[in-house]
Amino acid sequence: MKKVVKFGGSSLASADQFKKVGKIIKEDEERCYVVPSAPGKRYSRDVKVTDMLYKCYNAAANGKDFTEILKEIQKRYQEIIDGLGIKLSLKEEFTVINENLKKNVEADYAASRGEYLNGIILAEYLGFEFVDAAEVIFFNETGTLDSNKTDQALSERLSKVTYAVIPGFYGSNPSGEITTFSRGGSDITGSLVAKAIQADVYENWTDVSGFLVADPRIVDNPEVIETITYKELRELAYMGATVLHEDAIFPVRKAGIPINIRNTNAPQDKGTLIVEGTCRKPKYTITGIAGKEGFASITIEKAMMNAEIGFGRKLLKVFEDNDISFEHIPSGIDTMTIFVYQDGFVEKEQKVLAEIHRAVEPDHIELESDLSLIAIVGRGMRSTRGTAARIFSALAHAHVNVKMIDQGSSELNIIVGVRNHDFKNAVNAIYDIFVSTQL
Ligand code: ASP
């Protein structure tokens, strides 16, 4: 068995965290390839090294003095080195970074040094080989990943080393310049390494014990999801549940490699296993609940709409022409409702309304704002009758009025629309009926 292990910023924020990471890796000899993030926050008001590096870059780009910020960064790394008691000097590395910043290198180069330096320290601490991501992760000139070249380079290079540290977040472009993924991109590096070496599992270590059934800011102490499929995850992520960078899923999903979300601060917890498919029965009928506030709805009414060929196309074209993405379209016989994000819509609303009138000559248009959508997701719903009934009786008991219902034919999720002020109450009521009381 071969495992790729990625550690997030909070798992590598201090020497103490490094020690936990070292113990986790050394405990299991199958953990052969390690992908570190840059040092993250040590406490809630702390600043991530990546943010400090961007600050440094901005100062340099504006011709301001950046030496103090750079010194601060160097101090953070030195504290880790001293705390680990290893013999390593990053003096030369910092001289090079300083020179490059003076020469006005790209922002991506500056940001990437967080992972680069953390990788050097971790490799030294573990006694693993350091493989610079610039040599194995490749981007096109446009900044998008060159997945074929990357896959080939990674598998070729790593076939020669049994134990290695490959820093996350960055690679290089055809001109040899450093390019980064978007923020949180070390997750993607881990996924690419796992695919290239055909790992048995991609362990993603963070500071939570996996995906939670509901948002802990809404539900008190929600349970952890034991197993979730990629499809379910996608539904929940779309509604705002995040632990993992969305682009990290694709490479491993394509190769059928499961992802295991684990907690560096509670390594005894099994975490969440993300899989392509599973015969394992979910613990509850639903796998998770996620939701978002801030939607507006536009309801168009027109007698005999159902018989008018091309009605939907003409209507949706108005939204397309105005560069507005629609989220859901529940429809009746003579009505169609379009859900959109309120923020982007408000400034264009009058223009959109006028264009709808011109395009489809409706009898009536009604606008409603401050709505929320809640997705109740679960493969267990497919074969269980009464799921919808339980959701709606829970909402009725909680005095929540349901504005909209949408169930995809995959039976993987049910989406309900409620008013923003009912949102938290609704999520709690649904969690309660499926997880706490299991009525
Ligand atoms: N250090 C980078 C960030 O803060 C990338 C990562 O942690 O994955 O976004």
- In tens, the pLDDT along 224-259 reads 999 999 989 988 887 877 778 989 999 999 899 999
Least confident of 59-68, 164-173, 179-188, 381-390: 381-390
**Is residue 347 predicted with pLDDT exceeding 80?**
yes
Q: Is the pLDDT of residue 439 over 70?
A: no
- Indicate whether 28 pLDDT > 70: yes
Q: Residue 311 has what pLDDT?
A: 94
Across the range 169-195, mean pLDDT stands at 97
Of all atoms in ligand 1, which is nearest to the CA of residue 181?
Answer: 5
Determine the pLDDT at residue 332: 87
In the predicted model, what is the mean pLDDT of residues 31-57? 97
Atom of ligand 1 nearest to the CA of 186: 8
Q: How confident is the model at residue 297 (pLDDT cuts 50, 70, 90)?
A: very high
pLDDT tens digits, residue range 273-293? 999 988 888 889 999 999 999
Mean pLDDT for 46-63 is 96
| Alpha carbon of 239 to ligand 1 centroid (Å) | 22
pLDDT for 62 equals 93
- Residues whose CB falls within 8 Å of the CB of residue 144, separated by 6 or more in sequence, listed in order: none
Distance in angstroms (rounded) separating the CA atoms of residues 205 and 8: 6
Q: Mean pLDDT, the chain, as a whole number? A: 94
| Alpha carbon of 51 to ligand 1 centroid (Å) | 9
Which atom of ligand 1 is found nearest the CA of 187? 8
129-142 pLDDT, tens per residue? 999 999 999 999 99
Whether 196 has a pLDDT exceeding 80, the answer reads yes
User: How does residue 173 score in pLDDT terms, banded at 50, 70 and 90?
Assistant: very high
Tell me, what's the pLDDT at 427? 97
Question: What is the pLDDT confidence band of residue 382, given thresholds at 50, 70 and 90?
Answer: confident
Q: What is the strand order of the sheet 31-36 is part of?
A: 129-130, 164-165, 31-36, 3-7, 201-206, 259-263, 272-275, 227-229
Confidence label for 104 from pLDDT (cuts 50, 70 and 90): confident
Distance 106 CA to ligand 1 centre (A): 17
Which pLDDT band, with edges at 50, 70 and 90, does 316 fall under? very high
Distance CA 423, CA 408 (A): 21
Q: What residue ranges line ligand 1, CB within 6 angstroms?
A: 9, 37-38, 48, 50, 114, 168-169, 183-186
Structure tokens that stand for 205 in this block: 């270590």
CA distance 23 to 17: 10
**% of the chain beyond a pLDDT of 90:** 85
Q: Where are the alpha helices (DSSP H) in 145-185?
A: 147-158
Mean pLDDT of 305-312: 90
Task: Name the residue among 365, 410, 437, 435 with its Cα closest to residue 214.
Answer: 435
| Mean pLDDT, rounded, for 176-186 | 97
Ligand 1: centre distance to CA 167 (Å): 11
Contact 212, 269 (CB under 8 A): no
Question: How many whole angstroms separate alpha carbon 172 and alpha carbon 170?
Answer: 7
pTM of the model: 0.87
Q: Above 90 in pLDDT, residue 122?
A: yes
How far apart CA 214 and CA 290 sit, in angstroms, is 6
Please tell me the predicted confidence (pLDDT) of residue 281: 81
Give the residue-averaged pLDDT of 401-430: 91
Ligand 1 center–CA 398 separation, angstroms: 40
Residues 6+ apart with CB under 8 A from 336: 299, 300, 305, 311, 312, 315, 329
